[in-house]
Amino acid sequence: MRWPVALLFGLTLVACGPGCRSCDVVESELRARESDVRQLREELERSQLYNQALQQELQTLHGETSPPGGTEHPPAAYPVRSVVLGRQTAGRPSECGAGDDALQVLLEPRDPDGQAIKAPASLVIQALEINRQGLKSPLSTWEIPPDQLRRSWRNGLFSTGYSLTLPWKVWPSSEKLRVVAQFRLADGRVFEADKDITIRLTPPAQQHPLPAPESAPVPAHPNPVLPPPHPLDLSAPDAVSAPTAQLPPADQGQHTATSLWHKAEPPSPVEVLRPVPME
């Protein structure tokens, strides 16, 4: 009985072989089509979100804060959901190769799909030193205005985002640093990211003097407060009493003032030259 059963099972496999292969081909094609449909759907959602952001930006430029007749809050003009400090965030090597003379930062604002996008904002970078005990102390702080941040945008194959090179304001004394970035959008939203890095310290003998930090000018007070005048003690023995001058009335005009001037100062004598008789 074993041989007929084995022969029948073998014939069944031979008969179903091409059909099973065709089923595998069909299933792989279906999986490929499902992957294409999923990618197209994600691309469509991304395009819709981008169009919605452009419409909101256009309404903001026209002074429309909300759609007419609507009570919903308008969507954000730029769909930023998070910021990330890229791998290029590290110390910049010095030209002489003695250490790192600046901090290099790569900041990537990302949309809901995790793609890096460009958005108008200002940036504050803070570097903190980490000692051996794990304590952190402030080292340097940089404030980047929107114009400078916009010009630092880089779109490359390996890195896309805001690339900044920040010279040290104070030479670091620890190799371990924590970099904290605050990304402040124009609509008031603030995103923060931090990262621990390791730098190369510059030997003290090769540390050139750093420029002094600029001090903010002291604004002038619009209405300066003057100190009150000191009272005159008339009872003091050394007090000098000056006679009160009698001023002429104002209706006498310039003639009175001129006459008083001539009375106060007598005219100087004029030497009269007499003619010499001719002999």
Q: What is residue 54's predicted lDDT score, i.e. its pLDDT? A: 73
pLDDT digits (tens, 9 = 90+) for 222-256: 565 666 666 655 565 555 454 554 555 554 444 44
What's the whole-number mean pLDDT along residues 13-42? 74
Task: Provide the sign of the torsion angle of the four alpha carbons 64, 68, 74, 76, taken in this order.
Answer: negative
The larger pLDDT score, comparing residue 227 to residue 175, is at: 175
Q: Across the beta sheet with 121-130, what order do the strands follow?
A: 136-144, 121-130, 176-185, 190-198
Report d(CA 153, CA 35) in Å as an integer: 33
Beta bridge partners of 165: 104
Cα angle value 151/78/50 (rounded, 5°): 110
How far from 159 is each of 57, 105, 120, CA to CA, in Å? Answer: 27, 12, 19
The larger pLDDT score, comparing residue 265 to residue 128, is at: 128
Q: How confident is the model at residue 157 (pLDDT cuts 50, 70, 90)?
A: confident
What's the whole-model pTM score?
0.51
φ/ψ of 100, rounded to 5, equals -100, 125
Cβ–Cβ under 8 Å, residues 116 and 110:
yes
User: For the chain, how many residues are written?
Assistant: 279
Q: What is residue 47's predicted lDDT score, i.e. its pLDDT? A: 78
Percent of the chain predicted with pLDDT > 90: 29
How far from 245 is each of 15, 126, 175, 201, CA to CA, in Å? Answer: 138, 69, 80, 79
Quick count: other Cβ atoms within 10 Å of Cβ 158? Answer: 7
Fold of 82-204: Immunoglobulin-like (2.60.40)
Query: Which residues, other chains included, contact 42 with Cβ-Cβ below 8 Å and sequence gap of 6+?
Result: 113
- Structure-block tokens of residue 71: 């009570």
Cβ–Cβ under 8 Å, residues 139 and 118:
no
- Residue 198, pLDDT above cutoff 90: yes
Q: What is residue 227's predicted lDDT score, i.e. its pLDDT? A: 66
- Structure-block tokens of residue 171: 């030479």
| DSSP secondary structure letter of residue 170 | S
Cβ–Cβ under 8 Å, residues 159 and 152:
no
How far from 21 is each of 15, 26, 60, 77, 101, CA to CA, in Å? Answer: 12, 9, 59, 52, 64
User: Residue ranges of the domains in the chain?
Assistant: 1-65, 82-204
